Structure 1
Amino acid sequence: MFLIFLLSLAINSPPSSSTPDTLSRASSLSVEKPEDVLISPDGVFTAGFHQVGNNSYCFAIWFSEPSSSSDRHQNPTVVWTANRDRPVNGKRSKLSLLKTGNLILTDAGQSIVWATTTTSLSPAHLTLHSSGNLVLRNSDDHVVLWQSFDSPTDTLLPLQPFTRNAMLVSTRSQSNSSSGFYKLFFNNDNLLRLLFDGLEVSSVYWPDPSRVSWDNARSTYNNTRTAMLDSLGSFVSSDNLTFMSTDYGARLQRILRIDFDGNVRLYSRERAGEKWVVSWQAISDPCKVHGTCGANSVCSYDLGFGRKCLCLPGYQMRNHTDWSFGCEPKFDLSYTKGNESSFLKLLQVEFNGYDFNSYTNYSYMECESICLKLENCKGFQYTFDRGNGFYNCNPKTQLRSGHMSDSQGYLYLRLPKAFLLSNGSGIKAPKDYGLICTDRVIDLNRNYVKNLLNIIEYSLNPNRCKAVFSCLARV
């Protein structure tokens, strides 16, 4: 109780003189006062309490909008958040700069939710710069004690260094700003990569993990691990990744963001209040993003219809409102024991990773035999190597990140013979799942798709032949 009393004294000390862009020592910003914000000298950025839910607030930095920076019921473009996974109450919560030089965020119960854990013998002050960087300095020698640029959330601003110790983490969904499952970071081989870090599995999906770094025009021969976006729309990374926005050269407002769908996009607009326009994106085919549809499903993409998720034959959705849960088998898993299974041929369907092994120049019979001997083999990828003129065999222990592919090969899906017999010579398509809607708003972890189409009957691409499943069961 005594410690809480001392903390209360420190937080509620009379405020020192502050300017609109600066918070002085022993001062605080209150969640209950919409006018308690910091505004950058050029008026472009605002820092304050941003509402993220019913009576839930985060301390954040956002682009000031023409309506009113104090109107927290608007949806401003947030570029940084202190407590994205621990929102505070709309009553008695405060951001306080203590006399010790520590910047803390406390909730209604006076517990510390977030802190910079900094100390300073001389008076410190917190300033929001025109760059969007929130900086804590001491007053004597102007040493930077802490700055928001060093701990980004999901967004990079122009001239904000992105280093080996930084990471961009997506939001959970469009309406849920807590940490999601996608990350942009420099890994141990000095490459800037995108990672799907799900509840069950994690995997790198950009740049293409099936290709060596130099085939992706990347270099591992560096140890600086730095990247930066400039104000004109040019991005340069130490691993040789460079790109320019489609509107390069114009002095616009810009942000580089990892979105909740796992793609990294560069946005630009001319002035506040306008809509953001995508001027570059890392991945053109959204089905190449891992974790989109969950296990045992296939992602298809068409410019006219968008992205769709479909369960494999013999599987059904686990959660009818969220495709990230994937699909579950409709059959008994004991089929892998003995000689109780056979294979279904899926044209132009490819699954990433989870190979038991990779076998070069193997016949179909050899590949099938390997899979049948493995109790955990779900099927095998059998792909033609155009360069060498033979087929490669990849038995799969899991079926994740499935997508339609232009490769000259097939996925042979392992299914019980009894299931194949009961469904005749042709397998029925997965059931068309609609959405189960309620009157209340539900924050979902992933996108879901309306009007799921029949994977057998639907042409995934007008320029392609229809996807066809053919039964190869020998019964």
Structure 2
Amino acid sequence: MDISILFLFLLCLLKTPSLSSSKTLDILRASSLSVEKPADALVSANGEFSAGFFPVGDNAFCFSIWFTRSSAPTVVWMANRDDPVDGKGSELSLLGDGKLILTNSVGISVWTTRTPVPASLDASKLQLQLLNTGNLVLHNSDPSVIIWQSFDSPTDTLLPQQALTRISSLVSKKSQADYSSGYYKLYFDNDNVLRLLHQGLTISSLYWPAPWFDDPGQAGRSRYNTSRDGIFNVSGYFLSSDHFEFRAADFGEVIPRRLTIDSDGNLRLYSLQVNSSRDWVVTWQALSGPCQVHGVCGPNSVCSYDHASGRRCDCIPGFKMEDPTDWSFGCTPEFNISCSQMNESSFVQLAHVEFYGSDIAAPLNRSLQGCEQECQKSCACVGFQFKFIGDVGQYSCYPKYMLLNGRRTPNFEGDLYLRLPKGTSLFDNKTASDDDEPRLRCIREVSKQVRRTYENKTVKLLLWFATAVGGLEVICVLLVLFFLFRTDIHSDPAEQGYLLTSRFRRFSFAELRKATKGFSEVVGRGAGGTVYKGVLPDQRVCAIKRLNEANQGEAEFLAEVNTIGRLNHMNLIEIWGFCAEGKHRLLVYEYMEHGSLAKNLSSNIALDWEKRFEIAVGTAKGLAYLHEECLEWVLHCDVKPQNILLYSDNYLPKVADFGLSKLLNRSELDHSSFSKMRGTRGYMAPEVALQSSHHI
């Protein structure tokens, strides 16, 4: 029979049944379904399906479609399987623009349809209806005009007459009790072949049809087709566009059926027993061997199966289970073989054990000894697969860099030779058997015990955000109160820790007394005050000038602080801070190790003419900056050798002591503000001397 005729026959079964007898949700009567009203659900006309909020965990619900006539409700579709909502205030709404939207308790959307309503349709007549096929349909009172339907976006199940297409796929649950997206997927690959894929957290692999087939044709598939479609009818017959087909064991009976990719990775067709039990029975499955599914037991572990205990996972010798609750993480080694110890390792035989994939190479026709040597040569080799192929009379050798998808089957005639370090209890030159390996819990038993407790991610995020904002507000309030308290204590701007016009810090009198060891080491004296040597807490050596209270009041002190704070030149002394505490007035300068020019001129230190010339030029540069380059016109008023300090091995100069300076704006050409003599006689600024002569 031609395949196109079969497809035509199957697609004819998609004829939509009558819509008039089932409960609908429309804009005019009721535009939403609430999670707080379990009875407020959509029911198909035949009573086999319901659509509403289905509990998937503690205070967690997903909008779902489920079979109602089975012995237990069986979910066949979910809208928000990975983002459930909580049991208060969540609802599904039909908006005026024709979109379905699912919102949680705080009104945030977690799922919505994106199909626009054609402009020619009346949005006020939209209806959401659950059909007898289990298809949830949004239409405009016209069964032939479907705006959106759940059949276009399956989760883990196909229903009769529901097509699997190039843009849809089936994704398994994580476990029997966890409805979130799992690790197995049924889909059409880019070569148009229907496949099963294990998609783990870090590793992915195809396992159906058998991955060792070089050509899908060896598995009865065809990649030479122009479509990607698969569908099965109510009688239990499935056909896909790559020529794959199967029939249910009870083919011919028109009974409820579903095709589901289970959490264990196998694809199964289920039929509902219409007798009193109302149970689901498997009438077809893709893989006959449960251990043929990839990713079941994780790396470095072996899957085995027997009818008595079912499927189980075991770590290979020398390895231990990584996560006792989840076999998908596999096993980790209890030993270490470095590249320098390659010759100190040997091999243990695991009979009838196969690990698929992760081959370093495939040397042709190597003997067992030759294959072992190939593995010994590679630092990355963790073992090798070895098998004698009797039909062709040759050996197969596959060194492995990873041990994935392991299984033990009696009908597999090959063995795995596991690389282990010599001289340890892990290696005893024996062949490992089933009895040598510890029996661990069956993966199916573990999966039944694990039930995910869902949380509303949006609410949790909002709570974290609110907590962070609240904490930030508390910190801001405390900072404001702190600074207000500080401002209240130091209401005088002159006594603040930092002046707006300066770049230095305020010291307490106690700090500077400690830095100078009680003002014990005098390095200079003048009319304005005494200079002491000190060491700051950060170990900087400094010169601290303690001003005479009688000779310089607060006004002069603040003038000097503000003046020097605004200046920045290599030939001007740098001030690091000040103290204004009670009657104490102190300035903290950088320390000049060679002292003043006056001291050096009177000492035995030879200042040749070249050094003296450089000192004169440097001093002139500093004064020129004060007079011409800084933002305000500054007169030093007391330029003398005692106020020229020297530093470095070259005795470079820096001008100091601005305590008697006078600030003038450049526009103030009238110098009448100098009402009294300033500075030391013989060293006064010419401007002061000239001005003073006019007053004599």
Please give the range of the TM-score, normalised by the shorter of the 2 chains. Answer: 0.7 to 0.9
Distance between the aligned counterparts of 1:381 and 1:425, measured in 2? 18
The structure richer in strand per residue is 1
Deviates most, 394-403 or 270-279: 270-279
SS in 2 for 1:287: helix
The answer to whether the 8 Å contact 2:227/2:241 transfers is: yes
Structure with greater contact order relative to length (CA < 8 Å, sep ≥ 6): 1
Residue in 2 aligned with 1:106? 103
Identity across the alignment (%):
50
The structure richer in helix per residue is 2
Distance between the aligned counterparts of 2:289 and 2:172, measured in 1? 18
The answer to whether the 8 Å contact 1:103/1:118 transfers is: no
Deviates most, 138-147 or 232-241: 138-147
C-alpha spacing 1:214/1:106, structure 2 compared with 1 (3 Å): same
The answer to whether the 8 Å contact 2:35/2:91 transfers is: yes
C-alpha spacing 1:283/1:432, structure 2 compared with 1 (3 Å): closer
Match of 1:430 among 434, 437, 441: 437
Residue in 1 aligned with 2:383? 379
Match of 1:252 among 246, 252, 255: 255
Q: What is the Cα-based RMSD across aligned positions, in Å?
A: 2.5
1:235 aligns with 2:238: yes
Distance between the aligned counterparts of 1:95 and 1:61, measured in 2? 13
Q: Displacement of 1:223 after TM fit?
A: 2.4
Deviates most, 74-83 or 331-340: 331-340
SS in 2 for 1:367: helix
Q: Any unmatched runs of 5+ in structure 2?
A: 1-19, 453-696
Match of 1:78 among 60, 67, 75: 75
What whole-Å deviation, never above 9, does each CA across 1:38-64 have from its counterpart, x for those lacking one? 111222111111011111000000112
Distance between the aligned counterparts of 1:407 and 1:65, measured in 2? 43
Distance between the aligned counterparts of 1:40 and 1:423, measured in 2? 64
The answer to whether the 8 Å contact 1:132/1:157 transfers is: yes
Q: Map 1:57-456; keep pairs closer than 5 Å.
A: 57-65=61-69, 75-120=72-117, 121=119, 122-123=122-123, 124-139=126-141, 143-211=145-213, 212-271=215-274, 274-334=278-338, 337-405=341-409, 406-419=411-424, 423-426=427-430, 429-433=436-440, 442-443=450-451
SS in 1 for 2:187: strand
TM-score for the superposition, normalised by structure 2: 0.57
Q: Displacement of 1:140 after TM fit?
A: 7.2
* TM superposition outliers: structure 1 runs of 4+ over 4 Å: 139-142, 432-435
Q: Which amino acid aligns with 2:262?
A: D
Residue in 1 aligned with 2:506? none
Distance between the aligned counterparts of 1:336 and 1:251, measured in 2? 67
TM-score for the superposition, normalised by structure 1: 0.83
SS in 2 for 1:301: strand
SS in 2 for 1:359: coil
- Which has more radius of gyration? 2
C-alpha spacing 1:50/1:387, structure 2 compared with 1 (3 Å): same
C-alpha spacing 1:59/1:283, structure 2 compared with 1 (3 Å): same
The answer to whether the 8 Å contact 1:21/1:41 transfers is: yes
SS in 2 for 1:370: helix
C-alpha spacing 1:387/1:426, structure 2 compared with 1 (3 Å): closer
Distance between the aligned counterparts of 2:50 and 2:143, measured in 1? 26
Q: Any unmatched runs of 5+ in structure 1?
A: 1-17, 67-73, 445-475
Q: Displacement of 1:104 after TM fit?
A: 0.5
Distance between the aligned counterparts of 1:441 and 1:316, measured in 2? 21
Distance between the aligned counterparts of 1:423 and 1:400, measured in 2? 21
Distance between the aligned counterparts of 1:223 and 1:377, measured in 2? 43
Q: Displacement of 1:441 after TM fit?
A: 5.6
C-alpha spacing 1:374/1:21, structure 2 compared with 1 (3 Å): farther
Distance between the aligned counterparts of 1:231 and 1:424, measured in 2? 58
Q: Displacement of 1:217 after TM fit?
A: 1.2
The answer to whether the 8 Å contact 1:361/1:390 transfers is: yes
SS in 1 for 2:224: coil
